[in-house]
């Protein structure tokens, strides 16, 4: 086989023309290193600090969010404790109000009972007075009727007219006094006057 010499487009012939395609040309290698150094410098001076700044901001935001969350949780816990304390206080206040209401109810009930007892005593006393007045009126009326009837009866028996009012009144009063004395003696002896 004949030896074929490959020339580069630039007319470069020699070692680099025949070298393996993996090994770069020194000018390309130097150019690549320079471009890499420039890119490295740009990334190191501009991109990396910005990324670190963004990372720091995000870290601060996350930590701040966590701190805020912890503060919010602490505030919520404090609010819960305050609510529970207020609830306990409200319950004790409600119990105190219930006890006061029970005491006031018992006092009102006692006053109403006392008032009712006083009213009942007043009504009973009024009724007794009225009954006594009616009894006295009935006794007076009966005395008059008994006196008249007894005078009429005595007039018929004696055959004389006992029309002297003063005398007949004295006779009737004496008779009724004797009856009262007899009734009183029977009552003292334990007799009720029904066994006559």
Neighbouring residues of 105: CB distance < 8 A, sequence distance ≥ 6:
none
| Residue of 165, 172, 181, 115 lying closest to 143 (CA atoms) | 172
Q: Residue 2: what pLDDT? A: 40
What is the rounded average pLDDT of the residues 147-152? 73
Residue 150 confidence (pLDDT) above 60: yes
Q: Residue 76: what pLDDT? A: 92
State how far the alpha carbon of 118 is from the alpha carbons of 80, 105, 115, 125, 131, in Å: 56, 20, 5, 10, 20
Mean per-residue pLDDT over the chain, rounded = 80
Neighbouring residues of 17: CB distance < 8 A, sequence distance ≥ 6:
5, 6, 7, 8
Domain ranges of the chain: 24-189
Q: What is the reported pTM?
A: 0.37
Task: Please state, for a pLDDT cut of 70, what percent of the chain lies above it.
Answer: 79
Structure tokens at 139: 């006794």
Residue 101 confidence (pLDDT) above 60: yes
Neighbouring residues of 6: CB distance < 8 A, sequence distance ≥ 6:
13, 17, 18
Residue 123 CA to its chain's centroid (Å): 42
């Amino acid at each position: 086989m004949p030896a074929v010499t490959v020339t580069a487009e630039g007319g470069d012939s020699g070692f680099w023309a025949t070298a393996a395609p993996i090994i770069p040309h020194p000018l390309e290698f130097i150019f690549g290193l320079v471009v890499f150094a420039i890119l490295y410098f740009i990334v190191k001076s501009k991109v990396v600090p910005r990324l670190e700044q963004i990372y720091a901001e995000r870290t601060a935001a996350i930590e701040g969010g966590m701190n805020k969350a912890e503060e919010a949780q602490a505030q919520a816990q404090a609010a819960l404790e305050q609510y529970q304390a207020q609830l306990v206080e409200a319950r004790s206040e409600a119990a105190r109000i219930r006890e006061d209401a029970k005491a006031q109810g018992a006092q009102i009930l006692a006053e109403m009972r006392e008032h009712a007892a006083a009213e009942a005593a007043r009504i009973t006393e009024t009724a007794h007075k009225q009954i006594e007045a009616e009894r006295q009126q009935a006794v007076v009326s009966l005395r008059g009727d008994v006196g008249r009837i007894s005078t009429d009866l005595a007039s018929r028996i004696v055959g004389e007219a006992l029309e002297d009012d003063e005398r007949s009144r004295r006779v009737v009063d004496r008779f009724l006094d004797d009856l009262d004395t007899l009734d009183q003696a029977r009552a003292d002896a334990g007799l009720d006057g029904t066994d006559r």
